[in-house]
Structure 1
Amino acid sequence: MKLSRLAMMGSPIPQYLFLLMACCAHVAICSFIENSTDKLSLLEFKKTTGDPQQALTSWNDSTHFCRWKGVLCSAKHPNRVTSLQLQNQGLLGPISPSLGNLTFLRILSLSTNSFTGEIPPSLGHLHRLQQLNLINNTLQGRIPSFANCSRLEVLGLSNNQLIGQIPADLPHGLQQLILGSNNLTGIIPASLVNITALFVLGFESNNIEGSIPGELGRLSGLQYLYMGGNNFSGRFPLPILNLSNLINLNAADNGLTGDLPSNFGNSLRNVQLLVLGANFFRGHIPPSLTNASDLYFCDISRNELTGVVPSSIGKLSKLSWLNLEINKLQASTKQDWGFINSLTNCTELQVFSISVNRLQGNVPDSVGNLSGQLLYLYLANNQLSGFFPSGIANLRGLISVALNGNKLTGVVPDWIGSLGNLQKVALSSNFFTGEIPSSFSNMTRLEELYLDSNHFDGQIPPILGNLQTLGVLNISDNNLHGSIPKELFRIPTLREITLSFNNLYGPLHTDIGNAKQLLYLDITSNNLSGNLPGTLGDCDSVADIEVGHNAFSGNMPNSLGNITSLQILNLSHNNLTGSIPESLSRLQFLEQLDLSFNNLEGEVPTEGIFNNITAVKVDGNHKLCGGPVELHLLACPVIPLDLSKHKLSVALKVVIPVAIVVSLSIVISVLLFLARKQRTESISLPTFGREFQKISYGDVARATGGFSRSNLIGQGRYGSVYKGHLFQDGNMVAIKVFSLETRGAEKSFIAECNALRNVRHRNLVPILTACSTIDSEGNDFKALVYKYMPRGDLHNLLYSTQGSENTTPVNNVSLALRLRIITDVSDALAYLHHSHQGTIVHCDMKPSNILLDDDMVAHVGDFGLARLKFDSTTNSNSTTSDAIKGTIGYVAPECAGGCEVSTSSDVYSFGVVLLEIFIRRRPTDEMFKDAMSIAIFTELNFPDKVLQIVDPQLLQELDVCGEDGAQVLQSVLSIGLCCTKTNPNERISMQDVAAKLHGIRDAYQ
Structure 2
Amino acid sequence: MNCHIIFMLLTIPLFFIYSTNCMNSNETDHYALLAFKSALNDPQKALKSWNDSIHYCIWEGVACNNRHERVTMLALPSKGLDGKLTPFIGNLSFLQILDLSNNSFHGIIPSNLGNLAISLGYLNLQNNIFDGEIPANLSACIHLYSLSFAYNSLAGRIPQEITYLKNLEQLDLCNNQITGEIPDSIGNLTSLTVFSVDSNLLSGNIPDSIGRLSNLSMLQLGNNTLFGTVPYSIYNLSSLTLFSIFSTQIHGTLDPDLGLMLPHLQILNVAQTRLSGFIPHSLSNATHLEIIAMYNCSFTGKVKVDFSHLKNLQYLYLWGNSLGGEGPDSINFLNSLSNSRNLSLLDIQNNQFHGSLPSYMGNFSKKITSFSVSDNYLTGLIPPWITDIFSLSTLLLDHNQFSGSIPNDIGKLIHLQEFHLNNNRLSGQIPSSIGTLSLLNELDLSSNQLEGKVPNSLGNLQSLTVLDLSNNNFSESIPKEIFQISSLAVILDLSHNQFSGQFPPEVKNLGQLGTLDLSHNDISGEIPSSIESCTSLQFLNLSQNSFQGPIPKFLQTLRGLRHLDLSFNDFEGEVPQGGIFDNSNVISVSGNNRLCGGIHELNFPKCRKHKKSEYSLLVVILISCSAFVGLAAIFLILFFLKTRKKKNIPTESIEPASRNSLLKLSFAMLHKATEGFSSKNFLGKGSFGTVYKGFLDNFNQEIAIKVLHVQEQGVIRSFDAECNALSRLRHRNLVKILSACSSLDFQLQNFKALVYDFLPNGSLERWLHSYVDEKGEIVSKSLSLLERMNIAIDVAFAVDYLQNECPTLVVHCDIKPSNVLLDEDMVAHLGDFGLARIISDEDVQYQSSCRGLRGTIGYAAPEYGLGGEVSKKGDIYSLGILLLELITGKRPTDSIFEGDLNLNKFGKMGILENVMEIVDPNIVRIEEEQAKSSMENQVVDYEAIWKEKRHSIILMTKVAIACSMENPQDRSDIQTAINELQTARDLLLQV
> Normalising to structure 2: TM-score of the pair?
0.59
Of residues 16, 22, 25, the one that matches 1:34 is: 25
Compared CA separation, residues 503 and 351, structure 1 to 2 (3 A): same
1:119 corresponds in structure 2 to: 109
Amino acid at match of 1:113: N
2:478 corresponds in structure 1 to: 484
Contact 1:87–1:109 at 8 Å: present in 2 too?
yes
Matches of 1:86 and 1:884, distance apart in 2 = 39
Compared CA separation, residues 900 and 532, structure 1 to 2 (3 A): closer
SS in structure 2 of the partner of residue 465 of structure 1: helix
1:80 aligns with 2:70: yes
Contact 1:314–1:339 at 8 Å: present in 2 too?
no
Matches of 1:94 and 1:624, distance apart in 2 = 72
Contact 2:329–2:355 at 8 Å: present in 1 too?
no
1:622 aligns with 2:605: yes
- Alpha-carbon distance, 1:430 to partner: 1.0
Matches of 1:380 and 1:47, distance apart in 2 = 58
Amino acid at match of 1:492: S
1:71 aligns with 2:69: no
* Cα-to-partner distance string for 1:861-880 (whole Å, 9 max, x where unaligned): xxxxxxxxxxxxxxxxxx99
Amino acid at match of 1:402: L
SS in structure 1 of the partner of residue 31 of structure 2: helix
Compared CA separation, residues 903 and 356, structure 1 to 2 (3 A): closer
Compared CA separation, residues 238 and 232, structure 1 to 2 (3 A): same
- Alpha-carbon distance, 1:596 to partner: 2.9
Of residues 185, 191, 196, the one that matches 2:190 is: 196
Matches of 1:372 and 1:100, distance apart in 2 = 55
Matches of 2:972 and 2:329, distance apart in 1 = 47
Between the two proteins, what is the percent identity of the paired residues?
Answer: 35
- Alpha-carbon distance, 1:514 to partner: 2.1
Amino acid at match of 2:146: V
2:552 corresponds in structure 1 to: 557
Of residues 504, 519, 542, the one that matches 1:524 is: 519
Contact 2:373–2:396 at 8 Å: present in 1 too?
yes
Contact 2:328–2:354 at 8 Å: present in 1 too?
no
1:578 aligns with 2:578: no
SS in structure 1 of the partner of residue 391 of structure 2: coil
Contact 2:341–2:363 at 8 Å: present in 1 too?
no
Contact 2:292–2:317 at 8 Å: present in 1 too?
yes
1:109 aligns with 2:86: no
Gaps of 5+ in 1: 3-13, 607-616, 626-630, 634-878, 886-893, 906-1005
Amino acid at match of 1:150: I
Matches of 2:382 and 2:602, distance apart in 1 = 46
Amino acid at match of 1:248: L
Matches of 1:904 and 1:56, distance apart in 2 = 46
Matches of 1:193 and 1:166, distance apart in 2 = 14
1:275 corresponds in structure 2 to: 269
* Cα-to-partner distance string for 1:848-902 (whole Å, 9 max, x where unaligned): xxxxxxxxxxxxxxxxxxxxxxxxxxxxxxx9994999xxxxxxxx999999998
2:715 corresponds in structure 1 to: none
Of residues 169, 175, 184, the one that matches 1:181 is: 175
- Alpha-carbon distance, 1:44 to partner: 1.1
2:139 corresponds in structure 1 to: 147
1:569 corresponds in structure 2 to: 564
Of residues 242, 260, 268, the one that matches 2:236 is: 242
- Superposed, 1:961-976 pairs within 5 Å as none
Q: What is the number of residues matched between the two proteins?
A: 624
* Cα-to-partner distance string for 1:46-102 (whole Å, 9 max, x where unaligned): 1122222222221111111111111111123x2311111111111112110000011
1:791 corresponds in structure 2 to: none
Of residues 82, 85, 89, the one that matches 1:99 is: 89
2:377 corresponds in structure 1 to: 383
1:506 corresponds in structure 2 to: 501
Compared CA separation, residues 162 and 590, structure 1 to 2 (3 A): farther
Matches of 1:451 and 1:407, distance apart in 2 = 13
* Cα-to-partner distance string for 1:750-781 (whole Å, 9 max, x where unaligned): xxxxxxxxxxxxxxxxxxxxxxxxxxxxxxxx
- Alpha-carbon distance, 1:253 to partner: 0.7
1:52 aligns with 2:40: no
Of residues 219, 223, 226, the one that matches 2:213 is: 219
Compared CA separation, residues 573 and 336, structure 1 to 2 (3 A): closer
Contact 1:597–1:618 at 8 Å: present in 2 too?
no
Amino acid at match of 2:157: Q
SS in structure 1 of the partner of residue 395 of structure 2: strand
Amino acid at match of 2:500: Y
Matches of 1:358 and 1:31, distance apart in 2 = 74
Matches of 1:229 and 1:494, distance apart in 2 = 36
1:321 corresponds in structure 2 to: 315
Matches of 1:398 and 1:17, distance apart in 2 = 83
- Alpha-carbon distance, 1:426 to partner: 0.7
Contact 1:521–1:545 at 8 Å: present in 2 too?
yes
SS in structure 1 of the partner of residue 234 of structure 2: helix
Matches of 2:209 and 2:63, distance apart in 1 = 40
- Superposed, 1:838-987 pairs within 5 Å as 882=955
Compared CA separation, residues 901 and 147, structure 1 to 2 (3 A): farther
Contact 1:200–1:223 at 8 Å: present in 2 too?
yes
SS in structure 2 of the partner of residue 411 of structure 1: coil
Contact 1:99–1:123 at 8 Å: present in 2 too?
yes
Once structures 1 and 2 are overlaid, which stretch shifts more, 492-501 or 251-260? 492-501
Matches of 1:884 and 1:306, distance apart in 2 = 34
- Alpha-carbon distance, 1:418 to partner: 2.9
Aligned CA-pair RMSD = 3.3
- Superposed, 1:453-472 pairs within 5 Å as 453-472=447-466
2:249 corresponds in structure 1 to: 255
* Cα-to-partner distance string for 1:636-681 (whole Å, 9 max, x where unaligned): xxxxxxxxxxxxxxxxxxxxxxxxxxxxxxxxxxxxxxxxxxxxxx
- Alpha-carbon distance, 1:234 to partner: 1.3
* Cα-to-partner distance string for 1:278-333 (whole Å, 9 max, x where unaligned): 01111111111110101111111111111111251221111111111111111655
2:359 corresponds in structure 1 to: 365
Matches of 1:880 and 1:426, distance apart in 2 = 41
Matches of 1:904 and 1:290, distance apart in 2 = 46
Matches of 1:403 and 1:204, distance apart in 2 = 33
- Alpha-carbon distance, 1:26 to partner: 3.1
Matches of 2:78 and 2:584, distance apart in 1 = 46
Contact 1:524–1:550 at 8 Å: present in 2 too?
yes
Gaps of 5+ in 2: 609-659, 663-951, 959-967, 980-991
- Superposed, 1:418-429 pairs within 5 Å as 418-429=412-423
2:161 corresponds in structure 1 to: 169
Once structures 1 and 2 are overlaid, which stretch shifts more, 330-339 or 283-292? 330-339
SS in structure 1 of the partner of residue 69 of structure 2: coil
* Cα-to-partner distance string for 1:384-431 (whole Å, 9 max, x where unaligned): 112223332332322221111111222223232333332221111111
Of residues 133, 137, 141, the one that matches 2:128 is: 137
Matches of 1:896 and 1:21, distance apart in 2 = 75
1:597 corresponds in structure 2 to: 591
1:350 corresponds in structure 2 to: 344
1:535 aligns with 2:530: yes
Contact 1:884–1:898 at 8 Å: present in 2 too?
no
Amino acid at match of 1:508: F
Contact 1:318–1:346 at 8 Å: present in 2 too?
yes
SS in structure 2 of the partner of residue 132 of structure 1: strand
Contact 2:134–2:154 at 8 Å: present in 1 too?
yes
1:305 corresponds in structure 2 to: 299
Contact 1:369–1:394 at 8 Å: present in 2 too?
no
Amino acid at match of 2:513: L
Compared CA separation, residues 904 and 452, structure 1 to 2 (3 A): farther
Compared CA separation, residues 316 and 451, structure 1 to 2 (3 A): same
> Normalising to structure 1: TM-score of the pair?
0.59
SS in structure 1 of the partner of residue 155 of structure 2: coil
Amino acid at match of 2:135: P
* Cα-to-partner distance string for 1:915-947 (whole Å, 9 max, x where unaligned): xxxxxxxxxxxxxxxxxxxxxxxxxxxxxxxxx
Matches of 1:471 and 1:566, distance apart in 2 = 19
Amino acid at match of 1:68: W
